[in-house]
Amino acid sequence: MKVLSREGYELDTGDLVWELSRDKTVNLTWAQSSIGGALSDGFFSVISWYASNYAPGTALNVNVVFKKLITFLNIRTEVVINLSAIDLVNYRDSLSKTERYSLGTLVTLLRHWIKLEAPGVEKEVLKEISTWKEKASPKGVAVRTRCPKKGPLTQLEYEGLTVRLVQAFEDRAISLGSYVMADFLISTGRRPSQLGDLKAVDIKLPDEEVQEECGLVVLVPRKKQGGTWRSDFKAVYLTSEKAAPLLELVELNKRRFSKFWPGLSKADLDSVPLFPSWMMVRRAQDLPVAKVRGVLPRSHGHFR
């Protein structure tokens, strides 16, 4: 059966490896030998529902949590064909206090499973998990405690990192693309996956009334708001100093794509990735312009 992931990627539920997005792939090969019968049917039905309705990271997390449960049950049963309440009780009792943080995801998965009327999970399971009162894992501890290993960088560390980054670029130890990506991450705090989604068209000159204070506007694709790929954006404003290398990168990328495919129009070039995977681009250089024009608006060729 064919389904679409939430980010628009077509999946064949008969396959064992699903590409959910530009940078997220879920591997289900473990299920082939670990679960069977009704449980296998139910799991593939539910995980495909997750893939269609939730962010790719959520589907990946569900796969990991469910695999952990089945790995425990495989100690006694080589192939698990259904889940009972006693299976869940035994699994929960085997976990340490810290490991029980993941049970919230498992409980949510099983609630959806039963609500979707997918096979393989006994009805008593819902009654059992309804009694569980697990706390979520603590968030932001490293930041609040200013942990020197896992917490945020100090102002002095930020300044040192910036100086070393500029020096590495001046010494040609890193490329223009690497410099712009690192500088943008340091300056704005965006996630790397958001930067990987950027296209040339997202780089905008500011309105005239704010040009003195702002050198450039970058429309950064949102990741956690529930939309499809590149359906929602947040404007990030950069100074003129930060804007210059970014604009240079945009023009460099367009020139390089034009060398691969001279027939690309200005509108086509606006859709090139800001941070391309040049290895993927070079592999595709024999494709006709018409084919390239069709895939440029999508995620192909973006840095992963």
- Confidence check: pLDDT of 125 > 90: yes
The residue-averaged pLDDT of 188-210 equals 83
Q: How far apart are CA 252 and CA 244, in angstroms?
A: 12
Residues with Cβ within 8 Å of residue 180, at least 6 apart in sequence = 245, 246, 249
Q: What is the pLDDT of residue 98?
A: 82
Average pLDDT over residues 203-221: 77
What is the band of 136 on the pLDDT scale with cuts at 50, 70, 90?
A: low
Q: To the nearest whole percent, how much of the chain has pLDDT over 70?
A: 90
Q: Is 147 a residue whose pLDDT tops 60?
A: no
What residues pair up with 17 in beta bridges, in sequence order? 27
Unique residue bearing structure tokens 């490329």: 175
Is 49 within 8 Å of 113 (Cβ atoms)?
Answer: no
pLDDT one-digit tens code per residue, 55-100: 888 999 999 999 999 999 999 999 999 999 999 999 999 998 888 8
Query: Once rounded to an integer, what is the mean pLDDT over residues 10-33?
Result: 90
- pLDDT at site 67: 96
Residue 41 pLDDT > 90, yes or no? yes
pLDDT, tens digit, 9 for 90 and up, residues 156-175: 777 888 899 999 999 999 99
Cross-strand partners of 12:
2
| pLDDT exceeds 80 at position 211 | no
Average confidence (pLDDT) over 219-246 = 81
Average pLDDT value for the chain = 87
- Provide the pLDDT confidence category of residue 299 given band limits of 50, 70 and 90: confident
Q: Which residues contact 183 (CB under 8 A, 6 or more apart)?
A: 162, 165, 242, 245
* Across 191-216, average pLDDT: 80
Q: Tell me what pLDDT residue 210 has.
A: 54
pTM for the model stands at 0.67
DSSP string, 203-268: EEPPPGGGTTT-SEEEEEEPSSSS--TTS-EEEEEE-HHHHHHHHHHHHHHHHHHHHH-TT--HHH
d(CA 275, CA 25) in angstroms, rounded, equals 20
Q: What is the C-alpha to C-alpha distance for residues 195 and 274, in angstroms, rounded to an integer?
A: 8
The pLDDT value given to residue 282: 92
- Is 291's pLDDT higher than 50? yes
